[in-house]
Amino acid sequence: MYKILISVFLSLLLTNCASNKMKPEDFKGKQPRLIIEEYLQGNVKAWGLLQNRSGEVTRQFSADLDGSWDGKQLILNEKFNWTDGEIQTRQWTINKIDEHHYEGTASDVVGVAKGFSYGPAFKFEYVLLVPVKGKNIKITFDDWIFMQDEKVAINRATMTKFGFKVAELTVMFVKN
């Protein structure tokens, strides 16, 4: 009897959580409009922090982003300068599929990242190989960028493993 009640409770809980999840389309028609290939073209400076699943800040960084857009494809070079001295680089290739859909790749991304753009929001979903203690582990990113004005955007990313939150990333972007 208890197993049935627990199963029903968990099913209801999971259904309610999934139905309340924010979607990119929720931002349709809102301003200011974030056109990711325009915002990330040229030089953008960023500052961010990484928090573990308990909310404790574990690392901080500054980053330099440099993007070039050819009308169909954004090449975005990122350089992260972590406060512990580590330097990381990544080059994204992001293809615009249509007004609201994008696909991206990078050498440490598993498969293809999926992007969605509506109003001031850009959502990027991907699996990243994250180095931990000499091994790469697959971490799923639910990455949201929100345009504040023509120069400032805020990024919030939830990182999960097997569906459980392992960390969150907060980033502030300032376009030069």
Question: Mean pLDDT in runs of 10 for the chain (176 residues)?
Answer: 47 50 95 97 98 97 98 97 97 97 98 98 97 93 97 98 97 96
pLDDT (0 to 100) of residue 106: 98
Full-model pTM:
0.87
Does residue 74 contact residue 51 with C-beta atoms inside 8 Å? no
Amino acid found at 81: N
pLDDT at 132: 86
Query: What pLDDT score was predicted for residue 66?
Result: 98
The CA distance from 6 to 67, in Å, is 50
**First-to-last CA distance in the chain?**
62
Q: Where are the beta strands (DSSP E) in 83-163?
A: 87-96, 101-105, 109-118, 121-132, 135-147, 152-161
Pick the CATH number of 2-175 from 3.40.50.2300, 3.30.470.20, 3.40.50.1000, 2.40.128.20: 2.40.128.20
DSSP 98: S
